Amino acid sequence: MSQDLTDEQIRHALQGISVPPQPQIMVDLQMEQVMPDPDLRVIARLISQDPGLSGSLLKIVNSPFFGLANRITSIQQAVNLLGVKKVINIVNAQSIRGELTDENIVNLNRFWDSAQDVAMTCMTLAKRIGCLEPDEAYALGLLHNCGIPLMLSRFPYYIEVMEESYAQSGQRIVDIENHRLNTNHAVIGYFTAKSWLLPGHLCEAIASHHNAQQIFLEYGSKDATLKNMLAILKMAEHICKAYQVLGNHPVDHEWNEIGTLILEYVGLSEYDYESLEAICQEMMASGDGRYYQD
């Protein structure tokens, strides 16, 4: 099927919203593609560490050109469907979309580092708790903050606003952004995810990921899928200290408000959660090669 996908179709499918890829990932991918026999699994592993590249690949395989019965979230599956040549063409198309300034790279490092850690932690939690498919959990963790780099490109002072948002208690993070900027990264992330043709329930989770308290307090049992996704994500964000990495703040006000609700929902005691937290942090510290989307 991937043989029928022309370079022109790739260019057409990649038009629209674009999240910049990490420079080092692009360098590593370019090194792999000049090898005599590029390794598809190495390419998939590198792409799965980058939200922008992952989103672009998922957009291609979920497009009408492929005609899949159901939209997918697995980066490995997307790479396998496309094949080495098409994946390399997509990567190269992304590499010519504009260079990042040094300041932008420094600011985006927060986003990239957090996205990778949260994705891996989401996957591990999903495997151990069982309320979400690991591939889908990984995609949610990797892509949930995909609106942040777009906010950074639109608002030069967005880092300041983001830090202010994480420092407030009693308000949602997105409330501060709405007040200062008349929009927020969850809304922008939702439209980005839709442009990548991600499954609707994943887009909804991205839109709602700073509205978890209301969802767990008010939503009925029919919203179990959304609750499962947000439970995994909120635990992972807390374990990975997103409030420090992104918000530059020592206290996770959001978790303090919703943590008890989430642990009750998934049936974990504080001790159980702390044990999972220790396992995930040990894996991150060790750089365990198995800690990757299969």
Report pLDDT digits (tens) over 144-189. 999 999 998 889 899 999 999 999 998 999 999 999 999 999 999 9
State the pTM of this model. Answer: 0.87
On whether the CB atoms of residues 188 and 147 are closer than 8 A, the answer is: yes
Token pair belonging to 271: 């001790």
Q: Does domain 2-95 have CATH number 1.10.3210.10?
A: yes
Q: What is the dihedral of CA 211, 72, 110, 132, to 10 degrees?
A: 50
Is 286's pLDDT higher than 80?
A: no
| CATH code of the domain occupying 102-286 | 1.10.3210.10
Predicted local distance difference test score (pLDDT) of residue 23: 87
Distance in angstroms (rounded) separating the CA atoms of residues 263 and 120: 20
Through-space distance between the first and last CA atoms of the chain, rounded to whole angstroms:
22
**Domain extents for the chain?**
2-95, 102-286
The DSSP secondary structure of 117-184, one letter per residue, reads HHHHHHHHHHHHH-SS-HHHHHHHHHHTTTHHHHHHHH-TTHHHHHHHHHH-SSS-HHHHHHHHHSS-
Predicted local distance difference test score (pLDDT) of residue 77: 92
Distance in angstroms (rounded) separating the CA atoms of residues 253 and 226: 21
Band (pLDDT 50/70/90 cuts) for residue 14 is low
Predicted local distance difference test score (pLDDT) of residue 7: 63
Q: What is the mean pLDDT of residues 278-290?
A: 73
For the chain, the average pLDDT equals: 87
Percent of the chain with pLDDT over 70: 88
The answer to whether domain 2-95 and domain 102-286 are alike in fold is yes
Q: What is the mean pLDDT of residues 5-33?
A: 76
Question: Could you say which DSSP state residue 62 is in?
Answer: T
| One-letter amino acid of 241 | K
Question: 3-class DSSP state for residue 42?
Answer: helix
Predicted local distance difference test score (pLDDT) of residue 222: 57
Predicted local distance difference test score (pLDDT) of residue 88: 84
